[in-house]
Structure 1
Amino acid sequence: MLEVKGLCKHFGGIRAVDDCSFSVERGSITALIGPNGAGKTTAFNCISRTTRPTSGEVWLDGERIDQLRPHRITRLGLSRTFQISRNLADMTVLENVIAQSRVDGWRDLFKPAMSTFEIDKAMGLLDFLGITRIAHEDGSNLSYGQKKLMDLAALLMSDPKIILLDEPAGGVNPSLLEEIVGHIRRLNDQGLTVLIVEHNMDLIMRLSHRIVVMAQGTVIADGRPDEVRENPAVLDAYLGGVLEEAA
């Protein structure tokens, strides 16, 4: 479904992403992992076009998207979350979720701020995630984990075919983390393709069908969780050669 070819993003002399290539199979949960500074989030930003890549190509369902604007990419079926919730603090959870609905351009000027269809759809998603009780809470009153769930609901308002989740477990307590894992699994069972960046290796090993490993801006390994776990290049990237020195 998603193919990244020779993706590069340079900031001056820094090659944050350097000739990065990988693909995401339709219907899979694919993890993009790597040590801090590996270029994972920058790659996410280039794929979703919140950052313009220096070079390379990104293809979604056979259509090149790296030259499109973010809203066009969303309309084609790719949506993402961010490490830090970007909710609007002076709006309710329901309003935040609806704010990320698909838009029809100037036609929306003649519609209510929140249509009955949008409210019903948003409430259905909040119910799916088990957070209808906070639908009318201000975004500023939410816990970190609740913000993550709200972001996930907002993501689904655009009817995506593939979702990019940037550290959905970051800062979330263990019990809520298991809820989030369950939601991701259910969405995947319903046919949604998932690409996830996460530092929680236990979660990644349990959840992912396939893992892509980045280091210094490029892909160093790609395979099943059991293959990646035993890959010497991956161990070296994470541990900085400690295992080799100990041997």
Structure 2
Amino acid sequence: MLEVKGLCKYFGGIRAVDDCTFTAEEGQITALIGPNGAGKTTAFNCVSRTMMPTRGEVWLDGRRIDRLRPHKITGMGLSRTFQISRNLADMTVLENVIAQAQVRGWRDLFRPAMSAAEIDKAMGILDFLGITRIAHEDGSNLSYGQKKLMDLAALLMSDPKIILLDEPAGGVNLSLLEEIIGHIRKLNEAGLTVLIVEHNMDLIMRLSHKVVVMAQGAIIAEGTPEEVRADPAVLDAYLGSTLDEEEAA
């Protein structure tokens, strides 16, 4: 579904993403993990074209997308969330979700801001996520966890084939974490491909079919959750500095 080839993103002399190559298979949940500063979110930004890559290629379902504008990529079936909610100020949850609906052409400019079909579709998504009760709540009044769920609802409004989730569980309580895990699993079981960046290793090990590990901008390991958990290079990337300090002491 998604193929990343030799992806690079440089900021002057800093190689935030350095020659990364990996795939996200259709119908699977692929996790992109690594310590802070590994380049995971920068890679996400380049894949979704919210940031121009320095070099490399990104292919979606057999078509190259790294030269396209973000809205074109969304129209082809790739949508993403961000670490920090980007809800539109002074709009309700329902309005925020409908704002993510695909624009099919210039004729859409002459339609009502929210058509009956869009309202029905958005309410169905909110019902799936269990948050219809906040449909008419101002987006700025939501809790952090509710904003995460609203972002997920908005993501689904564009009928994606693959979704990129950037730390969907970050900062949420354990109860909501279980809800989010359940929603992601149900979406995947319905056929949606998922690429996820997340620091919560329990979530990653429970959900993922494949795990790709980044460190210092490069891919250092790839495999099943069990294989990655036992990989010495991964253990060193996460724990190496701590182990070195203990040995020195």
Corresponding position of 2:50: 50
In 2: Cα distance, 1:57 partner to 1:51 partner:
13
Q: Is the 8 A contact 1:39 1:214 kept in 2?
A: yes
Residue deviations 1:98-149 (CA, integer Å, cap 9, x gap): 0000002321121001000100000000000000000000001100000000
Displacement of 1:244 in angstroms is 6.2
Q: Report if the CA contact (8 A) 1:210-1:223 is conserved.
A: yes
Distance 1:241 1:36 in 2: 13
* TM, length-normalised to structure 1: 0.98
Say whether 1:99 aligns with 2:99.
yes
Structure-2 residue corresponding to 1:185? 185
Q: Any idea what SS the aligned residue of 1:8 has? A: strand
Q: Provide the rounded CA distance (Å) in 1 between the counterparts of 2:182 and 2:242.
A: 35
Per the normalisation by structure 2, the TM-score is 0.97
Extract unaligned runs of 5+ from structure 1.
Answer: none
Partner of 1:160: 160
1:62-121 residue CA offsets vs partner (Å, 9 max, x unmatched): 000000000000011000000000001200000000000000232112100100010000
Moved more, 165-174 or 237-246: 237-246
Structural RMSD (CA): 1.1
Residue in 1 aligned with 2:83?
83
Deviation at 1:243, TM superposition (A): 3.9
- Is it true that 1:111 corresponds to 2:106 in the alignment? no
Residue 189 of structure 2 aligns to which amino acid in structure 1?
Answer: D
1:29 is matched with 29
Q: Distance in 1 between matches of 2:153 and 2:86?
A: 13
SS in 2 for 1:196: strand
Match of 2:180, SS state, is helix
Counterpart Cα distance in 1 of 2:136 and 2:241:
51
- 1:240 counterpart residue number: 240
Superposition map of 1:119-198 within 5 A: 119-198=119-198
Q: CA deviation at 1:242?
A: 3.8
Question: What SS does the corresponding residue of 2:36 show, helix, strand or coil?
Answer: coil
Q: Which amino acid aligns with 2:176?
A: L
Equivalent-residue separation in structure 2 for 1:245 and 1:228 (angstroms): 24
Partner of 1:211: 211
Correspondence 1:10 to 2:10: yes
Calculate percent identity across the aligned residue pairs.
83
SS of residue in 1 equivalent to 2:123: helix
Question: In structure 1, what is the Cα distance between the partners aligned to 2:98 and 2:223?
Answer: 37
Match of 1:41 in 2: 41
Which ranges of structure 2 fall in alignment gaps of 5 or more residues? Answer: none
- Alpha-carbon displacement from aligned partner over 1:139-174 (angstroms, at most 9, x marks no partner): 011000000000000000000000000000011011
**Do the aligned residues in 2 keep the contact of 1:236 with 1:242 (CA within 8 Å)?**
no
| CA drift at 1:245 | 6.8
SS of corresponding position for 2:140: helix
Task: Give the Å deviation of 1:241.
Answer: 4.4
Give me the whole-angstrom Cα distance separating, in 2, the residues matched to 1:214 and 1:149: 27
CA distance in 2, matches of 1:199, 1:87: 23
CA distance in 1: counterparts of 2:29 and 2:60, whole angstroms:
16
Question: Which residue of structure 2 lines up, in the alignment, with residue 72 of structure 1?
Answer: 72
**Structure 1 residue 240, shift from structure 2 partner:** 2.4
The one-letter amino acid paired with 2:194 is V
**Whole-angstrom distance in 2 between the partners of 1:58 and 1:104:** 24
